[in-house]
Chain A
Amino acid sequence: MNYDIQKIRSYFPVLHQKVYDKPLVYFDSAASAQKPIQVLMAKEKLHNDYYGNIHRGAHFMADKTTVQFEEVRDKIRNFINAESREEIIFTKGTTESVNLVAYSFCEKFVKEGDEIIVSEMEHHANIVPWQLAAERKKAKIVKLPFNDLGVLEIEKLPSLINQKTKLIAVAHVSNVLGTVNPVSEIIELAHENNVAVFVDGAQAVQHLQIDVQKLDADFYAFSAHKLYGPNGVGVLYGKKKWLEQIPPYQGGGEMIAEVSFEGTTFNQLPLKFEAGTPNITSVIAFGAAIGLIIEIGLQNIEEWELSLLEYATSKLKEVQGIRIYGEAPEKSSVISFNIEGIHFYDLGVLLDKMGIAVRTGHLCADTVMQHFGINGCVRISFGLYNTKAEIDIFIAALNKVRLMF
């Protein structure tokens, strides 16, 4: 594989530093990825060259900014192979994307007694908005369970779907277990029963090539900041037929066609769902992040990360008292674990003091913690810039910590 890791790492100046006098090992990209210079430069360039509010100015600055902003929409359309640019909505993150669909879709299509199926391995952001909607509509949330390997029990799905089922919410990749869920199969089964599917792709887009048309997903959401882009920007892909039918989520500028006190008409897609001045700078910088991903190639990234996953998993399995949560055959580069006799917080604190950034706690996935009967765990996650040498440092640190207890 032709993967120039040194060159790639050189794009991320932040990685080349010492933390507590130790070289930084950043194993928390699943929480948020570091930003390459291309992204930082794009932000700066925008403000140095021309900046204006988009879609409404009849002047040079606004025009230039609008063109760049809309180019990113096209880039994203290509990136996930959506059928049209109208299906790409900018939000402030995956969480807002979920909330938008949970509000607007349920407002239109869910009524009292209806059911929404949510998988047991979801991030809180793909549970709570559905619960709020269900409460508002007096609908019911139905759990799609997973087994102890961290694999969804989709053989149970046919018995969970009935006349009242309106939507299934599922992660493409679990943020705790790393499981790559069989969303194609789920969507196929759902569509046979006229059920829509919302896919949380927050942990998938940075690792896997996504084709929303091939998947036939009704909605697909992700965040820029996990895809090496800036914070505060997310994407909601929605099939045009749904986006046209469901009501706006928030009111404000941009999303209207005409406003009067007698009544307001709404703008065309995608602006119907983009009330107010969006995060212009970050959207444009996000374009630079996607550019870099395309340049390196998602397939190369995936291959590289899977080799890290395999290496780290085999090394971790040699550590005494280890328990890994999530051993699905189809897995992405996330490993959650506990070591017997050592609290995850203690482990996280000590690794931090050795320069290694990991995530600890319930990982915003209480239902996964409950499944395994734990209060939390440690998670390491890899990005396109991590190396096997870093895994060796991590394993040595882990063994050092073990001796302290």
Chain B
Amino acid sequence: MTIEEVQQEIIAEFSVYTDWMDKYGYLIELGNELKELDPKEKTGQNLIKGCQSRVWLVAEMNDGIINFRGESDAVIVKGLVALLLRVVTGRTPKELIENDLHFIDDLGLKQHLSPTRSNGLLAMVKQIRLYAVAYNKIAG
């Protein structure tokens, strides 16, 4: 599936929830299911600190694709991290550079990417892009 197709799939999944609390209930479920990082990986180097919640992001390049893993201390943020990871992991740097991540906006969850929220998510999205650009240079 392409990045766009995964985003459309997620949007379809959420479309069954009309109530905000159900939407968040599903995010909490996704957050609880997300595999936790090895405590050793939760280092300052991988930490993206927000004043509300903290996010950790690990990236590894193998055979031309980047694998991302991540976590957060807040479950809703963790659910959003899980969704982001589903879209971006296992992609080539080129794919990541060429595609926009718009699904969070489409789900009506844009507020979590607002700079004023400072929950680490916006910085995580930026960081994913930076990894893609950096690995693209190395590969290129």
Interface residues of A (CB under 8 A from B): 20, 342-346, 348-350, 353-354, 360-362, 375-376, 400, 404-405
Given the complex, which residues of A lie within 8 Å of B53, measured CB to CB? 343, 345
Contact of A350 among B21, B52, B54, B77 (CB under 8 A): B21
Residues of chain B in range 11-39 having any CB-CB distance to chain A below 8 Å? 20-21, 24-25, 28
**In the bound complex, what is the Cα–Cα distance between A361 and B120 (angstroms)?**
13
Q: Interface residues of B, CB < 8 Å — how many?
A: 17
Contact of A353 among B20, B51, B52, B119 (CB under 8 A): B20
Contact B51 A346 (CB under 8 A): no
Contact B20 A346 (CB under 8 A): no
B33 to chain A, nearest CB (A): 14
Contact B54 A375 (CB under 8 A): yes
Q: Which 6 residue pairs spanning A and B have beta carbons closest together?
A: A343-B74, A345-B74, A353-B20, A345-B53, A345-B52, A346-B76
Contact of B24 among A353, A362, A375, A376 (CB under 8 A): A353
Contact B51 A361 (CB under 8 A): yes
**In the bound complex, what is the Cα–Cα distance between A344 and B54 (angstroms)?**
12
**In the bound complex, what is the Cα–Cα distance between A376 and B52 (angstroms)?**
7
**In the bound complex, what is the Cα–Cα distance between A382 and B70 (angstroms)?**
38
Given the complex, which residues of B lie within 8 Å of A344, measured CB to CB? 52, 74
By beta carbon, the residue of chain B nearest A353 is B20
Are A353 and B76 also in contact (CB < 8 A) when A345-B53, A346-B28 are?
no
Given the complex, which residues of A lie within 8 Å of B83, measured CB to CB? none
**In the bound complex, what is the Cα–Cα distance between A400 and B54 (angstroms)?**
25
Contact A349 B73 (CB under 8 A): no
In the complex, whether B75 has a CB less than 8 A from a CB of chain A is yes
In the complex, 11 of the A-B residue pairs with CB atoms within 8 angstroms, ordered by the A residue number, are A342-B75, A343-B74, A343-B76, A343-B77, A345-B76, A349-B112, A350-B24, A354-B21, A361-B118, A404-B25, A404-B28
By beta carbon, the residue of chain A nearest B28 is A404
Contact A346 B21 (CB under 8 A): no
Interface residues of B (CB under 8 A from A): 20-21, 24-25, 28, 51-54, 73-77, 112, 118-119
**In the bound complex, what is the Cα–Cα distance between A345 and B24 (angstroms)?**
13
Given the complex, which residues of A lie within 8 Å of B20, measured CB to CB? 20, 353
**In the bound complex, what is the Cα–Cα distance between A156 and B74 (angstroms)?**
38
**In the bound complex, what is the Cα–Cα distance between A362 and B49 (angstroms)?**
12
Given the complex, which residues of A lie within 8 Å of B51, measured CB to CB? 361-362, 376
Given the complex, which residues of A lie within 8 Å of B54, measured CB to CB? 375
Given the complex, which residues of B lie within 8 Å of A348, measured CB to CB? 52
Are A343 and B24 also in contact (CB < 8 A) when A360-B52, A362-B51, A376-B51 are?
no
Given the complex, which residues of B lie within 8 Å of A400, measured CB to CB? 21
**In the bound complex, what is the Cα–Cα distance between A362 and B119 (angstroms)?**
12
**In the bound complex, what is the Cα–Cα distance between A404 and B20 (angstroms)?**
13
Given the complex, which residues of B lie within 8 Å of A362, measured CB to CB? 51
Contact A405 B75 (CB under 8 A): yes
B34 to chain A, nearest CB (A): 14
Contact B74 A353 (CB under 8 A): no
**In the bound complex, what is the Cα–Cα distance between A404 and B118 (angstroms)?**
23
A288 to chain B, nearest CB (A): 29
By beta carbon, the residue of chain B nearest A403 is B25
Contact A353 B73 (CB under 8 A): no
**In the bound complex, what is the Cα–Cα distance between A185 and B73 (angstroms)?**
42
Given the complex, which residues of B lie within 8 Å of A349, measured CB to CB? 24, 76, 112
**In the bound complex, what is the Cα–Cα distance between A20 and B25 (angstroms)?**
16
| Given contact pairs A343-B77, A346-B28, A346-B76, a sample of 4 additional A-B residue pairs in the complex whose CB atoms are under 8 Å apart | A345-B119, A346-B74, A375-B73, A400-B21
A376 to chain B, nearest CB (A): 7
B74 to chain A, nearest CB (A): 4
**In the bound complex, what is the Cα–Cα distance between A45 and B58 (angstroms)?**
57
Q: Which of A349, A361, A376, A400 lies at the interface centre, i.e. has the most chain B CB atoms within 10 A of its CB?
A: A349
**In the bound complex, what is the Cα–Cα distance between A362 and B73 (angstroms)?**
14
**In the bound complex, what is the Cα–Cα distance between A342 and B77 (angstroms)?**
12
Given the complex, which residues of B lie within 8 Å of A360, measured CB to CB? 52
Contact B75 A353 (CB under 8 A): no
Contact A404 B77 (CB under 8 A): no
B120 to chain A, nearest CB (A): 10
**In the bound complex, what is the Cα–Cα distance between A304 and B53 (angstroms)?**
34
By beta carbon, the residue of chain A nearest B117 is A345
Given the complex, which residues of B lie within 8 Å of A20, measured CB to CB? 20
B132 to chain A, nearest CB (A): 27
By beta carbon, the residue of chain A nearest B53 is A345
A93 to chain B, nearest CB (A): 18
Given the complex, which residues of A lie within 8 Å of B52, measured CB to CB? 344-345, 348, 360-361, 376
**In the bound complex, what is the Cα–Cα distance between A168 and B4 (angstroms)?**
59
Given the complex, which residues of B lie within 8 Å of A346, measured CB to CB? 28, 74-77
